[in-house]
Every structure is written in structure tokens, then in C-alpha cells.
């Protein structure tokens, strides 16, 4: 147990990655992946599409980071592709860090964890937590599941940095896990309703093409048809239309041409936001 999800990125990477090692990570993706790789003086190898993994792997690859459902795109790695990935890395001298923080927020088939496949449990670190599934962001409660041979090193880093995760937040986590789960299903259903309406409305705005996300609570529309670059448009929407979003390049170089919106807001506010976006761009 760790205070939030980030320590379960930082501690295993600090324990396992040496300067010059290559780490393959999703791009666009959670910005902390690339930030930590560079902090450790390793070599970041961006992966814009999992179908390109075979050409990214090398003898220097020591870690593969997966995230499904994904921030910022809302995409999920299909079960077929997870199996292909497992076949590609099973015999290699690397470890998989599987960020499964959104694993309960999906709108179709459930995501497949690579750790569940033959030969992968002993070479996979699972990152998960309570902030997304149980809306416990401020409680700072995350955890990791990993092979026994890594545990001692991660424990040592945890003890020497944070001492422990607050006991009252751990008790709150126990209450979340053992209590009724209907609130989670209700929340996911509401995210689906907002996603459907918001993405449909965005797709009616000239120049915007918004794929339908399969999980998490984000929309990641392609805005290249508007003629704007991502960061200038994000700033203009905030300053002139009063709509907050994040520019795609904040999630990596392959995010140029996209914006990230969150549907973790009220249905009414989302409809107001997309109306303002449309009015601004027309």
C-alpha cells in the first residue's frame, strides 16, 4: 500500500531501471511515465500504437509500461493485442509495469490484465488504486502487486521515503472494497451517458473528430480539422470560451492535434461546454 498511485511507478522504476536502459511507454500517455524515465537517466521509447511494439523492442529494453483503459485517450488494449504483447515479451529480459488504475471504468468488454496470461505473473507489476474506481482521489491510496523478488526493494524505498500509508486511509480502502459496489456501477453508467452525449456533440462541431472512448472518463478529440494547434486552442478555449481542457502535447509529442476533455463533470456542464466550443470555432 502506498500514498497514491505515483509511488508505485516511482519505486519499482527506481529499483529496476539503470541509466541507459530503454523503457517503452504509451505516448500520448500519463506524463509521469516519461518524466520518471528521464529522471532516472534512462531512454524513453514512445509507443503511439501497441501494434508497433515489435519494432520498438531491443536488447536494451528493460521495462514496458502499459495502461488500459488509458489516460488521456480512453482507449483500451484489446484482449487479442494483450496476448500478442505477452508473446512478444514473455522470453525477454524485461518487466511489464501494467497501470490498471482505470480497470473498473469500461463501457464494453472488461480489460484483460497481462498478468493473467501464462508466464506473465512473475514478470508483471500491477499498479492500481482507489482514486478512480471509488472517487477517493484526495485520500491518496494506491497499491502494487508484483513478483516476490521485487517486494523487498520497493518496501525499502517506501519505508525510507514515506514510512507508511496512513492507517485511516487504508481503513477507508477496506470499507470501499468490502462495501456495496452498486455505486461503482452507477458511476460508470453515468460516465457512459456523459461520454455518449459529449462525444456525439463534439462530432457535430466542424473540424473536430472524436473517437468514442472505451474506458476511463476522458474524450480525446482530433482537432486538426479546425486549423488550430493543440496548445493555442486549449488556451483560447479557456480564456475566451471559459472551457477547460488539456492540450494533447502535454501527454507527449504524439498528442499534437488533440485535446483532452474530462467527462467527470455534470451532464449539464458538459453540454454547455460543447456549445461554447462550437460557438467559438464557428
State the first-to-last Cα distance of the chain, in angstroms, to the nearest integer: 49
* pLDDT (tens digit per residue) in 24-46: 999 999 999 999 999 999 999 99
| Percent residues over pLDDT 70 in the chain | 100
- Please list the helix, strand and coil fractions of the chain in percent, rounded to the nearest 5, in that order: 45, 15, 40
| pLDDT value, residue 22 | 98
Does this model's pTM top 0.95? My answer is: yes
Mean pLDDT of the 173-196 span: 97
pLDDT digits (tens, 9 = 90+) for 107-127: 999 999 999 999 999 999 999
Q: Using pLDDT thresholds of 50, 70 and 90, give the confidence band for residue 77.
A: very high
Percent of the chain past pLDDT 90, that is, above it, reads 100
Instruction: Examine residue 72 and say whether the peptide bond preceding it is cis (omega within 30 degrees of 0).
Output: yes
**220, 73 contact by CB (below 8 A):** yes
Q: Which of 90, 100, 34, 18 is nearest to 66 (CA)?
A: 100
pLDDT reported for residue 92? 98
Can you list the alpha helix ranges (DSSP code H) found in the chain? 7-16, 31-39, 53-56, 79-89, 148-161, 167-178, 182-202, 230-236, 267-281
Give the residue among 102, 152, 105, 104 at the shortest CA–CA distance from 127. 102
DSSP annotation of 135 reads -
Cα separation values, 158 from 125, 139, 151, Å: 16, 18, 10
Amino acid at each position: 500500500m502506498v500514498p497514491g498511485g505515483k509511488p508505485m511507478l516511482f519505486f519499482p522504476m527506481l529499483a529496476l531501471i539503470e541509466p541507459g536502459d530503454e523503457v517503452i511507454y504509451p505516448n500520448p500517455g500519463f506524463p509521469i511515465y516519461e518524466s520518471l524515465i528521464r529522471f532516472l537517466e534512462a531512454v524513453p521509447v514512445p509507443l503511439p500504437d501497441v501494434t508497433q511494439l515489435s519494432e520498438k523492442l531491443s536488447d536494451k529494453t528493460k521495462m514496458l509500461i502499459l495502461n488500459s483503459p488509458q489516460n488521456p485517450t480512453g482507449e483500451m488494449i484489446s484482449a487479442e493485442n494483450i496476448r500478442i504483447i505477452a508473446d512478444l515479451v514473455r522470453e525477454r529480459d524485461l518487466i511489464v509495469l501494467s497501470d490498471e488504475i482505470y480497470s473498473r471504468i469500461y463501457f464494453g468488454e472488461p480489460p484483460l490484465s497481462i498478468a493473467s496470461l501464462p508466464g506473465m505473473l512473475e514478470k508483471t507489476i500491477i499498479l492500481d488504486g482507489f482514486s478512480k474506481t471509488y472517487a477517493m482521489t484526495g485520500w491518496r491510496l494506491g497499491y502494487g502487486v508484483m513478483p516476490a523478488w521485487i517486494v523487498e526493494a520497493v518496501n525499502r524505498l517506501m519505508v525510507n521515503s514515506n514510512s507508511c500509508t496512513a492507517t485511516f486511509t487504508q481503513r477507508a480502502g477496506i470499507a470501499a472494497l468490502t462495501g456495496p459496489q452498486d455505486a461503482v456501477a452507477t458511476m460508470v453508467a453515468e460516465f457512459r451517458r456523459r461520454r455518449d452525449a459529449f462525444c456525439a456533440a463534439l462530432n457535430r462541431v466542424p473540424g473536430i473528430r472524436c473517437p468514442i472512448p472505451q474506458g476511463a472518463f476522458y474524450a480525446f478529440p482530433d482537432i486538426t480539422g479546425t486549423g488550430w494547434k493543440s496548445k493555442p486552442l486549449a488556451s483560447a478555449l479557456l480564456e475566451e470560451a471559459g472551457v477547460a481542457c488539456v492540450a494533447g502535447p502535454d501527454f507527449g509529442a504524439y498528442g499534437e492535434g488533440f485535446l483532452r476533455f474530462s467527462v467527470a463533470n455534470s451532464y449539464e456542464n458538459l453540454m454547455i461546454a460543447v456549445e461554447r466550443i462550437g460557438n467559438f470555432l464557428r
